[in-house]
A and B are shown apart, each in its own frame.
Chain A
Amino acid sequence: MFESILVYGLVASAILLLISLGFSITFGLSGIANLSYGGIYLSAGYLTWYLINVLQFPLFAAALTSVTLMAILGALIYRILIIRVRGNIMNEVVVTFALGLATMELFRFLGFGGYGFSLPSVASGGIRILGQAIGFQRLLIIGVAILVALLLWYFTRRTKTGLALLGMAQDEYTALSLGIDSDWSATYSCAIGAAITALAAVLIFPLGVIAIDEGYKVLIRMMAVTVLGGLESTKGLVLACIILGYFQVTVSNLASPRWTEAVFLGAILFVLAFRPSGLIGQSKELEERV
């Protein structure tokens, strides 16, 4: 029992990290709470399915195409929609949320969803860790989640483009006065966020079927993790993923898997009520007060 929670909790944490990195990086770099990523996640799943099953793409090529196209879509969403309401947070949230819902419901309307839609795993089989059977796909998810997090860190701290995006997030007017364009950086961060979300879809969907509800679940999860982790800190995000991942697995082991969604919704309510700045958002709060 204990070993099972230990191993599968880690898998659950990695899944959470992978689906929330996109949302959190977009928010961290441009301040846009892009709630259309639930729709992007689902679109990436169906697009990959279409490329593999209808156009006969090999898995890797299909995945790469999906991630690229979703990055472009993410950029277009900013350029066409968000740009018109940029600066008004409420409108940003409403616009992106509506877009995400519309996308997901469009798939339902078109008759997608249900059984028959699934993606192949990169590798079948698995190994045993602490006596627990764990599939290669799940190991891959853990590896990629860590890799993406590290790459993002490298990108934002060591490359000029990444530094410019961080700079824009930290002080918009100073960034402007040095020639960094605000719309350029927001487009960039929306594209990165959408690409990571698409990557998450390609890796996570093989664990089950591509169902419309997955889009909603992912949306709730990325919000729960980001709210708990504090909106701008990567450390907080990873911590939140680990806490919620283990909590989710423990609850589903001890009680029933039916309670999983309650964990995330409960986390959102609890954090917003008692620690609105997130787990380790305290220092930030203090800084702003001074």
Chain B
Amino acid sequence: MLEIKNMLVFYENAIAVNDLSFTVNEGDIIGIFGSNGAGKTTLMNTISGITLHVKQRMQREGGQHISIYGEQIFQGEDISNKMPHYRVKKGIVLSRERHPVFRDLTVEDNLILGGFLIKDKQIIKESLALIYEIFPALTRLKKRKAGFCSGGEQEMISIGMALAANPKLLLMDEPLLGLSPTAQDQVVQALSAIQKLGLTILLTEQYARPIMPYITYGYIIENGSLIMSGTREELMQNEEVLSAYFGVNK
């Protein structure tokens, strides 16, 4: 479904993503694990096209500050030079790191905006109903401004917005970051509900344990480079992985 070939991303001279290659197949839930600064967010932003947008914005100001190399192929089409809205239209939707929502809009308006590219009102209505089913907590917050919601609620809004866009490939950038254990539980439970919808998911996380039971394949990156990959079982058997990303010391 998605194929990343030799992706390299530089900010000025600093390398953020270093020669990453991996494949996401339809129906997969792929986890990408790494510590702060490993390149997770850059990777997600590059796949969603935001890095390309920032690069072009900076070029207009004069100067080449960001370089992106490699091929990004989605459903057989090279999307490396496509802008974010094109990618959303094709089905790649990102729920961003630290759940940035539209603070001054109500929760419901946030979710409606998620379906911005969908013209059919009936479909949006159905996805909204589905989102409230996945996140029952949002039902009573419909009319509240998203800026007044808690971090966990904003994360649900952020994932909900992405779902409203009707994605084929859902990108989730650190969905558990900064959430309370209860909120983490709710998000993880939502993950299995989303999985049942038949979506393909690519997610990043620092702390792998809550996510691990759901993934089909995992990658571990450090300083932008791939250092290890494997199925859930393979990763769980590696001692280094266990201590670094699961908090288990032997």
Contacts and interface: CB of A to CB of B under 8 A. Distances in A.
B201 interface: no
Contact of B165 (A88, A167, A171, A178): A178
B142 to A, nearest CB: 15
B103 A167 contact: no
Interface stretch (B31-39, B53-61, B128-136): B53-61
Given A176-B85, A178-B88, A179-B84, A166 B50 contact: no
Contacts of A176: 48-50, 53, 84-85
Contacts of A179: 84-85, 88-89, 93, 116-117, 165
A180 to B, nearest CB: 5
Contacts of B95: 177
Contacts, number: 89
Interface stretch (B105-113, B210-218, B227-235): B105-113
A145 B162 CA distance: 38
Nearest to B61: A88
Contacts of B109: 157, 163
A164 B50 contact: no
Indicate the member of A179, A181, A182 with the most B CB atoms within 10 Å: A179
A127 B228 CA distance: 82
Interface stretch (A32-40, A78-86, A193-201, A204-212): A78-86
Contact of B60 (A87, A177, A180, A181): A87
A282 interface: no
A126 to B, nearest CB: 41
Nearest to A88: B61
Interface in A172-224: 173-182, 184
Contacts of B101: 171, 174
A174 B101 CA distance: 7
A86 B49 contact: no
A258 interface: no
Contacts of B113: 160, 163-164, 167, 175, 178, 180
Contact of A178 (B58, B61, B114): B114
The interface residues of chain B, by DSSP majority, are classed as: helix
A86 B57 contact: yes
Nearest to B164: A178
Contacts of B117: 178-179
Contacts of A175: 102, 113
B104 interface: yes
Contacts of A86: 57, 60
A122 to B, nearest CB: 36
Contact of B57 (A87, A177, A181): A87
Contacts of B112: 160, 163
B102 A166 contact: yes
A170 interface: yes
Given A85-B61, A179-B89, A171 B114 contact: no
Given A178-B162, A181-B83, A171 B100 contact: yes
B50 A177 contact: yes
B161 interface: yes
Interface of B: 45, 48-50, 53, 57-58, 60-61, 83-85, 88-89, 93-96, 100-105, 109, 112-114, 116-117, 158, 161-162, 165
Given A171-B102, A177-B162, A178-B88, 18 more contacts: A84-B60, A86-B60, A87-B58, A160-B112, A163-B105, A167-B105, A171-B101, A173-B45, A174-B100, A174-B101, A174-B158, A176-B50, A176-B53, A177-B94, A178-B116, A179-B84, A180-B113, A182-B53
Top 4 nearest A-B pairs by Cβ distance?
A179-B88, A177-B94, A179-B117, A176-B84
19 contacts: A87-B57, A88-B61, A163-B105, A163-B112, A163-B113, A164-B116, A167-B102, A170-B104, A170-B105, A171-B100, A171-B101, A174-B96, A174-B100, A176-B50, A177-B48, A177-B84, A177-B93, A178-B116, A178-B161
